[in-house]
Amino acid sequence: MFLHAKSPHLSSTPRANNLEIRGVPVTQGEECLEIVKQLGDDIGCTVQTEDIDTTHRVPTHNANQKNIIVRFCSRNKRTEFLSNTRRSRPTTSCLGVLGESSLGVLGESSQQATANTEGQDE
């Protein structure tokens, strides 16, 4: 027995605890974990080291910009972080960056959305 079509649910389940943060400038020697914790403090969602499985930068089409992917250990913490971000609309100034541009936090990363749509027309 073979499975021919990919199920979008199967490919997105492992990433259900992920968020993508856009608009954070890349700085030399940065710690993505510390950026997420600082952003959490600013939006009223305390994030402990134990709340996060991993954080890292991912490339984008713009060579000067890399987004941050955060994998939370708990979907509840991810949901709290996402809803607080949407409510408070943080900017780069909360991270101590000169200038003020808005940060985007997505519940589904752009890479994840692409993966979910691949193979649906087969």
Give the pTM: 0.75
Paired sense of beta strands 18-22 and 52-59, if any? unpaired
What pLDDT, in 10s, does the model give residues 92-101?
888 887 666 7
Sign of the torsion formed by the C-alpha atoms of 90, 95, 96 and 98:
negative
Confidence of residue 1 (pLDDT cuts 50, 70, 90): very low
82 by Cβ neighbours in 10 Å (0-12 / 13-18 / 19+) ranks as middle
Mean predicted lDDT score pLDDT of the chain: 82
Q: Which residues contact 81 (CB under 8 A, 6 or more apart)?
A: 19, 40, 43, 45, 47, 70, 72, 105
Round to whole Å and give the CA distance between 111 and 36. Answer: 20
pLDDT in tens, 12-70: 667 889 999 999 989 899 999 999 999 999 999 999 999 999 999 999 998 888 999 99
Residue 102 pLDDT more than 90?
A: no
**Sorting pLDDT into bands at 50, 70 and 90, what band is 111?**
low
Q: How confident is the model at residue 82 (pLDDT cuts 50, 70, 90)?
A: very high
Q: Where are the beta strands (DSSP E) in 39-103?
A: 52-59, 66-72
> Which of the following CATH numbers is that of domain 14-117: 3.10.350.10, 3.30.1370.60, 3.40.1190.20, 3.30.70.1820?
3.30.70.1820
